[in-house]
């Protein structure tokens, strides 16, 4: 069995998230998704629109996702890869080169993101629409 893992916040779930997760699932037989906890996001200076429990539940409900775990720190990735028997670490290409150190444990793949959509752009659009209604 070929095991794949990815990490992310998955706030305001959108088609770009789905496209990425489906493509990652195609790289193996089992996809584990580590969803960033609220506490970890706060440490990164991020505030999520949805709490961890809701974000992880949405991700876990997808047919292409086999398992959801918590992402609690930057340094847990090598441990997860080894303990879970991961063969492929995959993530969006905006992280290109940032996780090459994991290549000593598994294959590292950077996938192209869906053009024209991101959580940041969605949050900006929502804020602009809210301001326009005032």
The residue from 44, 77, 98, 123 that is catalytic is 44
The residue from 46, 77, 123, 134 that is catalytic is 46
Given a contact cutoff of 8 angstroms between Cβ atoms, the answer to whether 77 and 102 are in contact is: yes
Report the distance separating Cα 58 and Cα 20, nearest Å: 15
E strands, 24-106, in order:
30-36, 67-71, 88-92
Residue 130 makes CB contacts below 8 A (sequence gap 6+) with none
Enclosing H/E stretch for 5: strand 3-8
| Three-class SS state of 43 | helix
44 noted as active-site residue:
yes
Catalytic residues: 44, 46
């Amino acid at each position: 069995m070929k095991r794949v893992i990815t990490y992310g916040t998955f706030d305001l779930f959108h088609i770009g998230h789905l496209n990425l997760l489906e493509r990652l699932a195609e790289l193996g037989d089992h996809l584990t998704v580590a969803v960033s906890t609220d506490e970890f996001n706060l440490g990164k200076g991020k505030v999520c629109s949805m709490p961890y429990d809701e974000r992880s539940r949405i991700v876990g409900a997808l047919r292409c996702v086999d398992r959801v775990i918590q992402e609690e720190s930057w340094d847990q990735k090598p441990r997860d890869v080894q303990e879970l028997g991961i063969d492929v670490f995959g993530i969006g290409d905006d992280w290109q080169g940032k996780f090459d150190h994991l290549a000593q444990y598994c294959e590292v793949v950077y996938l192209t993101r869906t053009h024209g959509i991101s959580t940041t752009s969605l949050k900006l659009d929502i804020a602009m629409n809210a301001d326009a209604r005032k």
